[in-house]
Structure 1
């Protein structure tokens, strides 16, 4: 009588589980890094959108004073600080990262290493 066994041995299954574990250990940190980049990009985008809104406000009113702080993207908190009638600065934070972004326009303080109207994150 000839019996043929079908299926996987315990060793074969363990090898597959170990390989899947190694692949997961490589992929999870990359995913976390990608999420943080997305948060930073959202903060930069919100600050750039704030520049457009503030310039439109200035065009209508000849001052930045009174410009309402816009609502940021999901998880992003924006702070707008007028620096007299001809300048302003802003700060953006996201609850899921320790990185913060700043921007300055006109007479507002411009972050070190950034051009006017360019977000700088650190």
Structure 2
């Protein structure tokens, strides 16, 4: 029986190893618990209308909002300009792909009016 107890002692994890694993798990849980507490505090602060009003009136928040609005506006204007610049090329590509003939009056010299010779 004594040999059997010795064999179990060799295969069973030591108490200190089990304790170390437990401490590691506890430390990991405690770290996530701190994050949860911080998250709850931040959510409580952000759900406070008086605090939001006070922050929105502060100079740094107003400056950040101004920068964000300007970046969004510049992006929208740039996208519109890029779409305008692409439109003629995309129209030609579509017409070529679908086999449509070119509209009359388009080509070199079209729409320029009378030249130096005075001819219309």
Please indicate the TM-score interval, normalised by the length of the shorter structure: 0.3 to 0.5
Q: Provide the TM-score with structure 2 as the length reference.
A: 0.36
Structure with max Cα Rg:
2
Give 1 or 2: higher helix fraction. Answer: 2
Q: Provide the TM-score with structure 1 as the length reference.
A: 0.36
Give 1 or 2: higher strand fraction. Answer: 1
